[in-house]
Amino acid sequence: MSHKSVAVRTRGLVLTEHEFPIPLDHSRPNGERISVFAREVSDPDGLDRPFLVFFQGGPGHEASRPTRNPSGPGWLDRALKDFRVLMLDQRGTGRSSPVGMLPGLAPKQQAEYLTHFRADAIVRDAEWIRSELGVEKWSVLGQSFGGFCVTAYLSLAPGSLREAFITGGLPPIGRPPDEVYIATYLRVLDRNRQYYDRYPGDRDRVRGLHKRLEKEDLRLPSGDRLTGRRFRQLGQMLGMSDGAEHLHYILELPADSPAFRHDVEAGTGFARNPLYAIVHESSYADGWPTRWSAERLLPSEFATSPELFTGEHVFSWMFEDYGALAPLKEAAEILAEHKWPKLYDATTLAANEVPAAAAIYVNDMYVERELSEETARAIRGLRTWITDEYEHNALRADGERVLGRLIDLVRGRA
């Protein structure tokens, strides 16, 4: 079954939209198929440039939507000088076959289905697409979880890659998830300290909101009750360059206002992309079960200081507090006990011959710097740019410079 494609033109761009029927389970090529969507983006005079495949952050989020204006991804203009860009809606997201509540499947069936949405499956999708498009080799760019995908690509199919660029996304290799969450919680506690140093008046406001949420049934636009533990998850914003400001502007709104309730719900947007909550911890499971690692390792400070926000952490109670996640509760429990296969081949990475570069952010709240540096040393020939100039969202905040620097590193110009 061949894929479908449609070409359209927008302001200054040529977009070719592809839909590929791909096996859900790549070990069963004749089994159930899902659709994977990819959008090819090029300058009108760049239709024959080599491909750069973009792997989105997440997991569970679709690719950015390209435009030639400030709302588009900031790195795209730089990329299009050298490439035409293929932007994947990773399986289960965007215009690819969506993962929602998985109705009609028993919990064990849901869990089995959801084992096929990690970085290794995404890389095999990319290889399927590369073959369909008749491309011998292409370059890859991964942001955050997309960097995990690029590292998996370097493990699984390095012969298909011309060069590799990673931003804020070098994963730990061979380490249990518990070590990841011990490190990231230390970063989150420090971000809380920095936040309240900047906005000291918010401390009492947040404490007051927690007391109110204990007593009152405050409902969000979805109908879900806002619980204190859900409210704490707004802290995931604090790892972005503008995150503290966004959080403060939510907290300054009256709690009775529609604006406050809307912005809180939007700031904890797991309902839009339920796949994130399901597979996030498994992204760190390089041959391990997760067993609700972040929940088990929650520092004691959070029990005594209600004003502390959590970060990019997933908890079992989310499948109770979020109505959109409740149908997947039993499947999530099954997956928490699942021993995930390894994602990376240390021997292949140690023998890497693909020109590669990675930006590592010193103060990254989501992807621990020391573990990223350890992985960088394990990938032969990988050049690193270790910087404290940016937060995790540097590719969005200053994409022209960040991607340009990585290209220069790979090509020996820096």
Active-site positions? 144, 364, 392
Annotate 154-199 with DSSP letters as a single string. HHH-GGGEEEEEEES----SS--HHHHHHHHHHHHHHHHHHHHHH-
Could you tell me if 122 and 30 are in contact, meaning their C-beta atoms sit under 8 angstroms apart?
no
Give the separation between CA 386 and CA 405, rounded to whole angstroms: 12
Give the separation between CA 378 and CA 204, rounded to whole angstroms: 46
Could you tell me if 327 and 319 are in contact, meaning their C-beta atoms sit under 8 angstroms apart?
no
Report strand pairing: 13-23 vs 51-55: unpaired
Residue 146 to residues 171, 198, 202, 254, 367, Cα–Cα distance (Å): 10, 32, 34, 37, 12
Cα 375 to the center of its chain, rounded Å: 18
Could you tell me if 273 and 160 are in contact, meaning their C-beta atoms sit under 8 angstroms apart?
no
Give the separation between CA 118 and CA 360, rounded to whole angstroms: 22
Give the separation between CA 118 and CA 265, rounded to whole angstroms: 26
Could you tell me if 303 and 310 are in contact, meaning their C-beta atoms sit under 8 angstroms apart?
no
Q: How many residues does the chain have?
A: 414
SS (H, E, C) 225-245: ECCHHHHHHHHHHHHCCCHHH
Sign for the pseudo-dihedral over CA of 230, 370, 364, 351: negative
Question: Helix (H, G, I), strand (E, B), or coil: what is residue 213?
Answer: helix
Sign for the pseudo-dihedral over CA of 309, 311, 314, 320: positive
Q: Where are the beta strands (DSSP E) in 210-298?
A: none
